[in-house]
Structure 1
Amino acid sequence: MNTENIRVLIVEDEAIVAMDLAAGLESEGYEVAGIADNAEDALQLFREEDVDILLMDISIMGERDGISVAGEMMEQRAIPLIYLTALTDAETISRAKHTRPSAFLTKPYTLTNVRIAMEMAMHNFAASQEPGGKVIPLQPEKKETESVDTGKETILQLKDYIFVKHNYAFVKVRLSDIRYIEADNNYIHLVIPGNRMLLRLSMNQLLEKINYPRLVRIHRSFAVNMEHITAFTDYEVRLDQQELPIGRSYKEDFLRNFNSR
């Protein structure tokens, strides 16, 4: 399965709390990139690990507090930041605001509260990243004779990745790993090496709203990643052993992607 779980860095000075939170997040499908209880260890993990979201306690061991450490981390690279703390005084909140956190959860918190805050943080962070980040509400396109289905799914794009909801967590899919997309009414199959993911949206919604020009429509039911094509004829494209049809009305647009000499 060629997807990646969202990687979380936990900075918490209470070991039992940190381990309990880590176990809960892993059971929900997240991956814990590391646990630290002080500034030095937290900064080292942040530099060395691929971290997607930061859970930061404000009261940590050592001379520096979590706000100071989070501020330094955000200067290195911006990711969604959530504070987990028992401190709610005006001065602390004012200082925390300068690091632009996505959420501020007071202790004691529940796993559900943290999970919801993480989902909202991913949404808001993706929306704030221009032009590389987008939040795309995924919902079957409404026909005039149909009512809108309120059961929405969400997909996020951040630069070279999309984040697809799987159970309670998002998983990362590198755009270049997408081999092709197959439409099935109001659903699509997103085909990547080792996996075929079913998403509840139309082909048009995905192709119009994500920023990845190498995904090209070749048929009313298929779009292909040009990087994975190994051969093609007037009637089909080949991705290794997989053959996909080229629709007559899409052939000209498909051929424009090649530089003729």
Structure 2
Amino acid sequence: MKILIIEDEFILATDLSDTLEAEGYEVVFVADNGPEALEFYQKNEVDLVLCDIHINGDWDGIETVKRLIDVRQSPIIYLTAFTDAETLERAKETYPAAYIPKPYHIVNLRMAIEMAINNFAMRVHPMKILKDTKTDVARKEAILQVNECIFIKQNYQFVKFRLDDILYLEAESMYTNIVTSQKKYVIRQTVGGVLERLPIKHLVRIHRSYAVNIHRIESFNEHEVIINGQAFPLGRSFKDEFMRQFMFR
């Protein structure tokens, strides 16, 4: 997860950055003023913003955040020593995911980040979230979409990958392996359940145990499909649907 930090205290910013990196997040930039943060935000991918309210320059943190969300929406968490009612009312106008007083505790920050991503995905793509909320499994194994990326929970935090990076899905008992070009993720859902929730038209079931990204296919024949040098069986009952993905000339 790519995080932008806006903080004017160098030691605190460094400590926060190191803590987040140790937690598995990626701090893509640290700015100590609004214009610098805005310039980076306009040109780069950012998943979440952690912002102090008292920062260098003419813009405070709240004004900076207003300018950021004018560019595009992102989840915002304020980390600040300001807890007065007036500041809090101004901060509310930017609809932050959390407002955490300094000094922060990493456990509270970790929970705030998770809730921020979850609530932001619900607000931006309400129909793209895991739909079946009747079971404990469904609540624990949420699949969240933010723009062209997917967040799934792994080891108590949400991790992100791009939709186009998915190579294939593989069934393994009650679990599904989501295999990307970089890594394998495990989610407690069936392949069919994952397919219902991932908004990818080119992810196609080819076998009871496999679904593949047709954009990543290297070759195929009557019996198997090759992706990244690996062969996957093409089941007889899935062959017609698989062939419908291609335009014949």
* TM-score (normalised: structure 1): 0.87
The Cα of 1:138 is off from its aligned counterpart by: 9.2
- For the 8 Å contact 2:167–2:216, the answer to whether it is kept is yes
CA distance in 2, matches of 1:93, 1:224: 48
CA distance in 1, matches of 2:138, 2:66: 39
TM alignment of 1:80-119, pairs within 5 A? 80-119=75-114
CA distance in 1, matches of 2:178, 2:95: 34
Q: Which residue of 2 aligns with 1:39?
A: 34
* TM-score (normalised: structure 2): 0.91
* Structure 2 residue 180 is matched with structure 1 residue 202: no
- For the 8 Å contact 2:125–2:145, the answer to whether it is kept is no
Q: Which residue of 2 aligns with 1:7?
A: 2
1:158 to 146, 150, 157: 146
1:85 maps to amino acid = T
* Structure 2 residue 165 is matched with structure 1 residue 177: yes
The Cα of 1:92 is off from its aligned counterpart by: 1.4
Q: Which residue of 1 aligns with 2:47?
A: 52
Task: Look up the SS of the partner of 1:230 in the other structure.
Answer: strand
1:252 maps to amino acid = D
CA distance in 2, matches of 1:240, 1:150: 31
* Structure 2 residue 69 is matched with structure 1 residue 74: yes
Root mean square deviation of aligned Cα: 2.3
Give unmatched runs, 5+ long, in structure 1: 1-5, 143-147
Moved runs in structure 1, 4+ residues, more than 4 A? 148-151
CA distance in 1, matches of 2:118, 2:70: 21
2:234 maps to amino acid = I
2:180 maps to amino acid = I
2:118 maps to amino acid = H
- For the 8 Å contact 2:129–2:142, the answer to whether it is kept is yes
Task: Look up the SS of the partner of 1:134 in the other structure.
Answer: coil
- For the 8 Å contact 1:55–1:83, the answer to whether it is kept is yes
CA distance in 2, matches of 1:159, 1:54: 16
Structure ranking higher on relative contact order (CA contacts 8 Å, 6+ apart): 1
Identity %: 45
CA distance in 2, matches of 1:210, 1:149: 17
Q: Which moved more, 1:14-23 or 1:115-124?
A: 14-23
Q: Which moved more, 1:84-93 or 1:97-106?
A: 84-93
Task: Look up the SS of the partner of 1:212 in the other structure.
Answer: coil
Give unmatched runs, 5+ long, in structure 2: none
